[in-house]
Amino acid sequence: MGVNRDIDITRDASLRPFCDHTFEFAIFHEARFKTTDAHCISCWKRIAPPGKNEAENVGYVTIHEVNYKDLPPLVQYAWVCNDCFARYGNDYGWKVSKQRIPQIPAETEHDFDAAYRDYLKRIGSQEKDLIASEKPENKQE
Instruction: Assess whether 97 and 112 both reside in one domain.
Output: no
Range of the structural domain that residue 58 is part of: 1-103
**Residue 51, pLDDT score:** 84
Instruction: Assess whether 44 and 97 both reside in one domain.
Output: yes
Q: How many Å separate Cα 86 from the centre of its chain?
A: 20
User: Mean pLDDT for the chain?
Assistant: 82
**Confidence category of residue 93, pLDDT binned at 50, 70, 90:** very high
Instruction: Assess whether 14 and 64 both reside in one domain.
Output: yes
Residue 105 pLDDT > 80: no
Q: Which region among 2-6, 15-19, 48-52 has the lowest average model confidence (pLDDT)?
A: 2-6
Whole-prediction pTM: 0.71
Instruction: Assess whether 69 and 124 both reside in one domain.
Output: no
Q: Return d(Cα 15, Cα 28) in angstroms, integer.
A: 21
Instruction: Assess whether 43 and 64 both reside in one domain.
Output: yes
Instruction: Assess whether 41 and 99 both reside in one domain.
Output: yes
Please state the rounded mean pLDDT for residues 7-14: 76
Instruction: Assess whether 64 and 128 both reside in one domain.
Output: no
pLDDT in tens, 63-92: 988 888 877 788 889 999 999 999 999 999
Residue 4 pLDDT > 90: no
Instruction: Assess whether 63 and 125 both reside in one domain.
Output: no
Number of domains in the chain: 2
